Amino acid sequence: MTANDLPAVGIPARLAARMSMPEQHAYLREKLSRREKPSRRGVLRGGGLVVAGAAGAAGLVSASEAALGDGPGAAAGPTLVASPVKVDGSLVAPFGRHLAFGSDPKTRMRISWQVPFAVKRPYVRVGLKPWELGRRIEAEVRPLHTPSLGRDVPEVEQLYLHAALDGLRPGTTYYYGVGHDGFDPASAERLGTVGSFTTAPADAGERFVFTAFGDQGVSYDALANDQLLLGQNPAFHLHAGDICYADDSGHGKESDTYDARVWDQFLAQTESVAARVPWMVTTGNHDMEAWYSPNGYGGQSARWSLPGNGPDPEKAPGVYSFRYGNVGVVALDANDVSYEIPANRGYTDGAQTRWLARELKRLRAADGGDRGDGAADRVDFIVVFFHHCAYSTSTHASDGGVRDEWVALFEQHRVDLVVNGHNHVYERTDPVRGGEPTRKLEIGGTTEPRRDGTVYVTAGGAGKKLYDFPVPDSYEGHLDERESVPSFHWTKARVQNRDHVEWSRVRYTGFSFLAVESRPGGRPSLEVTALAESGRRIDHFVVRHG
């Protein structure tokens, strides 16, 4: 019997609509355990690559490692399939490299990648010159097994590797290569595989650029955005969720179309940027994957190494913070508070919101303006990013859960910029306080958050199919301003509460991303620019502290 002969185990849509993420996880595990399992001899194919579950036979991972006993995957118990297939390590090329900061970008970097076959003794080599990769750091293996959840989707084994680099020098460029027995990135024939990264500067007085978007997926437009983004020379990139769309249901409802191989495509697509620019992600509704763990994040924890300084890095891996220069960045998981998509609503029991209050207070305590000094580690600006929109007028509109839980905290601690995805468009508000715009922020204008409030940007045009607006677009060179825009926000009862809003200032239906330049100094500023996939500027404004 083959995988395609088996009945699908995806959850029927009507049933899934009534189930939480833990209930879906339990359903899939129980149902799969009762059906006849296919033979696992030979190799398994995934993502156009031959993916062998040979790690056990090759001596790559121990039983405890295969169970992911020290991470979120422990609850799911993913296991690595033993296979008689062995491949010479010299023939196995790593792919899908992606960087992420540790909790301190000045001294900590995380390097992650994939291999299509099991390998022996994987590692990272690091050095200050590309031809001198002397230091060698052993890699951790995080395997994922995904059964056939549908008739047309095969069983898949994936091997994700991670190395933690600590004790780095601030403001220093390092070169690195990933390898294993038989594949040495320091050898002459492998020098073309060497990548690089630069740690954050030691003080907060240097200019830098970061970029941001959400809702990327795998497409030609996503790839085009990546290449244009790389041209901005960003110090890091913020991805506001809905990363690859292996789950195309969008409602945290595991379906029989879930295809783990899409992650292989995504990481291969993104490698040209993420191998040199730390790719800081958070969680969207498409990133809840019920098979791997009760909270749906076992897959994310296997594929990404993110700062572990949130309220619970195992339970909520997409919640963390870091400082880079004079900017404090906070990543949140809006699935925890969403009224629109409740599959994971309340899964942290309020711990995320309590942590957010403490973290915003801590970052504001490092505000050089408040302290009246020019401390090297001062924080002039706070940027928060997450998936579901606090303020947007496009297809999903605004999520009342986000507003009820977090907006008051943003206002209390004077958050300067909030970046969301979810709606596949670009939209920018006027500065908002108490749900209303405080003043009109023209394209090219300047806002002072202490006086005006917070600007919210929906940057969901990273690559997936575009949405639209209830009124015409209005952007740089194509103004069509409206006194108000018909829209709605989701209520706790999952009702669309319809209203007209006055805060929608810029709207663009097209693929795009944000580029933000931080300019420290006597009057520090964030120069915020939105670029279309063509490179055309569609919006720009300045956030300044007086």
144 domain residue, yes or no:
yes
User: Would you list the DSSP string of 200-222?
Assistant: PPSSS-S-EEEEEE----SSHHH
Q: What is d(CA 325, CA 174) in angstroms, rounded to the nearest whole number?
A: 19
Residues 106 and 231 in one domain: no
pLDDT: is 87 or 514 the higher one? 514
Q: What is d(CA 61, CA 59) in angstroms, rounded to the nearest whole number?
A: 6
Per-residue pLDDT at 58: 29
Residues 104 and 192 in one domain: yes
493 domain residue, yes or no:
yes
Per-residue pLDDT at 179: 96
Per-residue pLDDT at 368: 54
- Final residue before a domain boundary, out of 196, 213, 229: 196
Residues 490-505: pLDDT tens digits?
A: 999 999 999 999 999 9
Report the interhelical angle of 261-274 vs 220-230 (nearest 10°): 20
Residues sharing a CB contact under 8 Å with residue 69, sequence separation 6 or more, in sequence order? none
288 domain residue, yes or no:
no
Residues 353-394: pLDDT tens digits?
A: 999 999 999 999 987 544 344 456 789 999 999 999 999 999
Per-residue pLDDT at 284: 96
Residues 158 and 215 in one domain: no
Q: What is the CATH number of the domain that holds 183?
A: 2.60.40.380
Q: 315-332 burial by CB neighbour count: b if 16+ within 10 A, else e?
A: bbbbbbbbbbbbbbbbbb
Per-residue pLDDT at 152: 77
Per-residue pLDDT at 84: 52
Question: Is the predicted pLDDT of residue 482 greater than 60, yes or no?
Answer: yes
pTM exceeding 0.75: yes
Residues 185 and 225 in one domain: no
Residues 183-227: pLDDT tens digits?
A: 999 998 888 899 999 999 998 999 999 999 999 999 999 999 999
259 domain residue, yes or no:
no
Number of domains within the chain: 2
Q: Are strands 485-490 and 496-501 parallel, antiparallel or unpaired?
A: antiparallel
Reduced 3-state DSSP string for 167-197: CCCCCCEEEEEEEECCECCCCHHHHHHCEEE
Per-residue pLDDT at 258: 86
The parent domain of residue 169 ranges over 3-196
Is there a contact between 143 and 78 (Cβ–Cβ < 8 Å)?
A: yes
Residues 105 and 220 in one domain: no
Q: What is d(CA 361, CA 15) in angstroms, rounded to the nearest whole number?
A: 42
Residues 157 and 234 in one domain: no
110 domain residue, yes or no:
yes
Per-residue pLDDT at 378: 86
Question: Is the predicted pLDDT of residue 77 greater than 60, yes or no?
Answer: no
Q: How many CB atoms lie within 10 A of CB 141?
A: 21
Residues 233 and 99 in one domain: no
The structure tokens listed for 169 are 């020098």
Of the candidates 368, 362, 379, the residue with the CA atom closest to the CA atom of residue 327 = 379
Residues 135 and 46 in one domain: yes
Of the candidates 293, 391, 410, 415, the residue with the CA atom closest to the CA atom of residue 347 = 293
Q: What is the CATH number of the domain that holds 511?
A: 3.60.21.10
Residues 150 and 224 in one domain: no
Range with top average pLDDT, 130-139, 373-382, 523-532: 523-532
286 domain residue, yes or no:
no
Q: Check residue 233 and give left, alpha or beta (phi > 0: left; psi -120 to 50: alpha).
A: left
Question: Is the predicted pLDDT of residue 539 greater than 70, yes or no?
Answer: yes
Percentage of residues in the chain with pLDDT exceeding 70?
A: 84
Residues 268-278: pLDDT tens digits?
A: 999 999 999 99
Q: What is d(CA 190, CA 192) in angstroms, rounded to the nearest whole number?
A: 5
Angle subtended at Cα 190 by Cα 187 and Cα 195, rounded to the nearest 5 degrees: 110
First-residue to last-residue Cα distance in the chain: 70
407 domain residue, yes or no:
yes
Question: Is the predicted pLDDT of residue 445 greater than 60, yes or no?
Answer: yes
Question: Is the predicted pLDDT of residue 51 greater than 70, yes or no?
Answer: no
Angle subtended at Cα 6 by Cα 5 and Cα 9, rounded to the nearest 5 degrees: 145
Residues 173 and 221 in one domain: no
Per-residue pLDDT at 467: 98
Is there a contact between 333 and 240 (Cβ–Cβ < 8 Å)?
A: no
Per-residue pLDDT at 283: 96
Residues 394 and 533 in one domain: yes
Q: How far is CA 358 from the centre of its chain?
A: 22
Q: What's the chain's average pLDDT?
A: 87
- Final residue before a domain boundary, out of 140, 172, 196: 196
Residues 338 and 473 in one domain: yes
